[in-house]
Homo-oligomer: A and B are copies of this chain.
Amino acid sequence: MSDRLLAADELEAKLRAIGAERYHHLHPFHKLLHAGKLDRGQVQAWALNRYYYQAMIPIKDAYALARLPTSELRREWRRRIIDHDGDGPGTGGIERWLKLAEGVGLDRAYVQSTRGILPGTRFAVEAYVNFVHHRPILEGIASSLTEMFSPDIIADRVRGMLAGYAFITEETLAYFTPRLTQAPQDVNFALTYVKEHARTRAEQELVLDALRFKCDVLWSQLDALYLAYVEPRLVPPGAFAPER
C-alpha cells in the first residue's frame, strides 16, 4: 500500500469497487430470492432473520449519534433513527418490516421476540452494533456506505419478488419504497463526510476496511440463511424451522 493520499474521486472509486466485489447482491441466497426460486418457508426465514438487523439499526445509529460532536451532525444522523423508529405508533421502517414479516405469514410477536433467528444472524448484527459503538466515528460512518449499493438491489428485489411469489403483494413490500429515497440522501451525507474527514491515507484505508467489514456483516447473514434453509438445510438447534 502506498501512503499517498487519494483524491476524493479515487476514494469513491475504491469504495465502489469494494461493493462490486463484496456487496450481498452477489450472494446466491439473494439470487434465489429475487428470481422467485425460494419457497414460502425460505422467504419467511429471510424475513424473520432480517428483522433482527432492521430492529438493531436505530441502536447502532444511537451509538453513532453519541459520538458525533456537533448539533448539525447529530441532526443529520438523527434522521436515520426517525426513518426506522417512525413518528408515532404504526410508522417507521421497523414497523414496515414487521408488516412484511406478517405479510409472508409470520406471527408478529414471534418475530419481535427474535427467538427463532439464527446464531449467525445474531452474531453478525451484534458485530455491526459493536463496531459503530467502539470504532472511531469516521469508521462508523464509513460502515454505513453499503447504502451506496442498495437502490439497485431494492429495485431488483421488489420486481423479482412481486413477479416470483404469488403470496407477496406490493403492500407487503412497502418497506422498500421509502428506502429508495432515504438511502441516497444518507449516502450523500456519509460519502461527503468520509471524503472530508479521512485526512491521511491510513485513515482512508480504515474507511475502506470499514466498508469491507460491513459487506462481511451482510454477506454472513445470507451465509447463515443459505446453510440453514437452502443447502444443506442444517437448521441449528432452537432456530426457526419452516413447515415443509
Contacts and interface: CB of A to CB of B under 8 A. Distances in A.
Interface of A: 21-22, 28, 118-120, 122-124, 126-127, 130, 212, 215-217, 219-220, 223-224, 226-228, 231-232, 234, 236-238
Contacts of A28: 232, 234
Chain A binding surface, main DSSP class: helix
Given A223-B227, A231-B231, A22 B238 contact: yes
A220 B120 contact: yes
Contact of A119 (B118, B122, B220): B220
A232 B225 CA distance: 13
A219 B119 CA distance: 9
A115 to B, nearest CB: 12
11 contacts: A22-B237, A118-B220, A119-B220, A120-B123, A120-B124, A123-B123, A123-B220, A127-B127, A212-B238, A223-B234, A227-B227
A127 B122 contact: yes
Nearest to A218: B119
Contacts of A236: 216, 219-220, 223
A222 to B, nearest CB: 9
Contacts of A223: 119-120, 224, 227-228, 234, 236
Contacts of A22: 237-238
